[in-house]
Amino acid sequence: MQKLEEKIGYRFHKRELLNTALTHSSFANESHDQDCQSYERLEFLGDSILGYVTAEFLYRHEPRLPEGRMTRLRAELVCEQSLHQVALRLGLGSYMRLGKGEEHTGGRERPSILADMVESIIAAIYLDSGSLDEPRRFVTAQILKNAEIGDSHRLADYKTELQELVQRKANQHIAYELIGESGPDHCKTFTFRVSINGETAGEGSGRTKKEAEQMAACEALRKLRA
């Protein structure tokens, strides 16, 4: 845990909060300890803290950005793919506590679980420190510090970009399809597929259906421009 605290950049006073942040529901369900809890409640709180800190960052550092672009950029910064990359840098997979079944089905490497764990750690830092200062420092260092805020490509509406690119040719048809959803009702993750003339062009996930569609369009644009 000390190594993980060094990576996070925060030393916990109540290390049980960090333990909970790393505990998947499968482990808690299999545990004989009635006090063992999963990270789901922490994740719920962490999601809100992350959204607020990111919104505050964009508001203060990008005074010329209109509301629509700030909304899209915030969605991209806090999406599953972004949080998954944070989890990989921190090596969270090796610290998480999983049940046997989840372990055998690759849960330690599952992007959705790793992304959720980043949010639970944000909440754990907040509860342990008693203020927003430490979670804000963590989010800034891990997610916002190197964000290419001024990059017009990151601020783009990917669905509109894809539509404009595809419609350069006649008789092109784009369709978005919901292909999966996971997580508790208060914090679902949606996965969408975008198809061009019936052929899969990209897939993407997000906390809202609109965000997932944008991520699918982003993936399609990446492939088309490769």
Name the residues annotated as catalytic: 47, 119
State the DSSP H helix or E strand holding residue 101, giving kind and residue range, or none if neither.
helix 100-104
Determine the residue type at 74. R
Structure tokens at 102: 């989840």
Question: Look-up: residue for tokens 């009635």?
Answer: 34
**Residue-wise burial string across 70-85, b where 16 or more C-beta atoms lie within 10 A, e elsewhere:** bebbbbbbbbbebbbb
CA angle 200, 102, 111 (to 5 degrees): 40
Q: List the strands of the sheet with 189-196, edge to edge.
A: 174-182, 189-196, 199-206
Q: Residue 190 in 3-state DSSP? A: strand
Determine the residue type at 34. Q
CA angle 196, 198, 200 (to 5 degrees): 65
Task: Sort 6 into a burial class: Cβ within 10 Å, 0-12 / 13-18 / 19+.
Answer: exposed
Q: Which residues pair with 189 in a beta bridge?
A: 182
Question: Look-up: residue for tokens 């996971």?
Answer: 182
